[in-house]
Amino acid sequence: MSSESIAVASDHAGYELKETLKQELTNMGYEVLDLGTDDGTVSVDYPDFGYAAAGAVTSGQVDRAIIVCGTGIGISIAANRRPGIRAALCHDIETARLSREHNDANVLALGGRTTDPELAKACMKAFLETSYEGGRHDRRVAKLA
């Protein structure tokens, strides 16, 4: 059982995957803050949701965030506009794991139209269960700030 709080957010194209991941997070014992969207049938703008999730992380309201749009590209760009955010768009378990180990990513971005739900759950699990390695990576991560 985790005591971590995780924000989830998506646009309309990522809504279905966000809902799947939200349920999985609850099953894993995480406290979930859903920042929307609340409807997959109404077109909305991914920057609004990526930026909101990033804000929840930088304010300390949550520990990390999972964000989803059609491809994960746009929403990750939006999240990375906020200082202190290291959003990683991941397509497999290895990139999800390495985003944490080497880059200390605090936001995981996924594509609702490009990522199978089971793979997305596995990526999310790897992202949440992997710690930052530090050491040789510290100076590089510091340069991201």
Which residues are known to be catalytic? 69, 102
- For the chain, the first-to-last Cα distance in angstroms comes to 32
Coil vs helix vs strand at 68: strand
Strand order across the 87-89 sheet? 31-34, 5-10, 64-69, 107-111, 87-89
7 forms bridges with which residues in the sheet? 33, 65
Compute the 3-state secondary structure of the chain and give helix, strand, coil in percent, each to the nearest 5: 45, 15, 35
